[in-house]
Structure 1
């Protein structure tokens, strides 16, 4: 397998692995627009020349869409190798590419968002620990900030105070999301429609700038749902799963 680096110049011609479809698809449009705006911030998107989810996406931590402090580090937004490519060494290959590139750019280490147990949309902590990442901070029921240091004297990354309580003041359902994950472009409108049809208070807030995302009330800025001020989930919900939550809340 060869590695392709997606840039502004070839973005329109390349498949975006996490949302394979034609360019008129709302998910593809959303993700490609988000990527195009991030390349000037130093974002790197490398993918395999295969038809499937096989890629790594990373960015200087100062420009990452996460409420963290990690000066001098590189933040890995996503390392996704789908099941059909498991066991072929691709995760190691992409991570090694990131390490090499980050060191050449003078970074002091890598940072990723993970969780205590394996969960959808979050990096696998078991794999990261195997690759010598360590947990440097935690928040809420399961979030872990993991770091691979190149410089033992470098300051460890940490979550901002904005996420420490995982609470907001607004009542009803409040969803914070971003097009960093393309699936939000499809699924956010679906649950918004359900809430409106049932007369349930619901507000969706999309992060449109780096500054907004870096001051988010939850670590996972692609998708974080709150209800009556309390954190509910980071998992991008289907209509069925949202209806289940509504039932659980007695609505």
Structure 2
């Protein structure tokens, strides 16, 4: 939040949170300046393309830097477990290896989660079930098919969740468009329904090139320069 370029994005994130609180989102953090927090809400209201009725969805879970290894993550997760009493379980989106903006799979597995579904190219849906008879959560077909309408050139799908993308969907994408002479389209998801039928498992930010998923990491001109020569190759 100290990044001056992100200030408008911070405001948008706060507005997004305020609306989600009305839908059952819970935000808990350590009383410190560091990033030690968890967000979760009923999976029916999650801004991700999953089917997980009567589950809790962990929207964001972050313990940073010097705060790691002190048990804060376990305490936050326990809060989520306690608040999910009576639910079928808890779900979260991760990946088969460590990636930016996604909580580590190994941490979830350590605390009793297991992979229940996957979506290309590397997303995994993890579940901690309380009710063994409840249906397993699944990614929706839209996340698996990854079909982007009018997908020529670079298409970036994003929301007002964090990480803050406002600046990067403006100046940085303009720079890419000018440097490479390719069409750039921005698709902002503004409703829960749009997000729940999105062509990517990560709706905060996902980039597609000529209809194919490229990355869920925020693109800058420098990052796109490095990706340019690999865009004809599978990502994963």
3-state secondary structure, aligned to 1:137: strand
3-state secondary structure, aligned to 1:94: helix
TM-score normalised by the chain length of structure 1: 0.86
Aligned length: 229
* Contact kept in structure 2, 1:99 and 1:110, CA below 8 Å: yes
Corresponding residue for residue 185 of structure 1: 166
Of 169, 174, 179, the match for 2:155: 174
Corresponding residue for residue 58 of structure 2: 76
Structure 1 residue 157 corresponds to structure 2 residue 131: no
Query: How much is the aligned-residue C-alpha RMSD, in angstroms?
Result: 1.7
Corresponding residue for residue 7 of structure 1: none
Structure 1 residue 32 corresponds to structure 2 residue 6: no
Corresponding residue for residue 93 of structure 2: 113
3-state secondary structure, aligned to 1:25: helix
Structure 1 residues without counterparts, runs of 5 or longer: 1-18
Residue 20 to residue 56, structure 1, CA distance change in 2 (3 Å) = farther
Of 224, 229, 232, the match for 1:242: 224
**1:1-251 correspondence to structure 2 within 5 Å:** 19-20=1-2, 25-103=7-85, 106-169=86-149, 170-198=151-179, 199-249=181-231
Displacement after TM superposition at 1:168 (Å): 2.4
* Contact kept in structure 1, 2:176 and 2:221, CA below 8 Å: no
Displacement after TM superposition at 1:141 (Å): 2.2
Structure 2 residues without counterparts, runs of 5 or longer: none
3-state secondary structure, aligned to 1:155: coil
* Contact kept in structure 2, 1:20 and 1:52, CA below 8 Å: no
* Contact kept in structure 2, 1:112 and 1:145, CA below 8 Å: yes
3-state secondary structure, aligned to 1:45: strand
Question: How far apart, CA to CA, are the structure 1 residues paired with 2:88 and 2:231?
Answer: 45
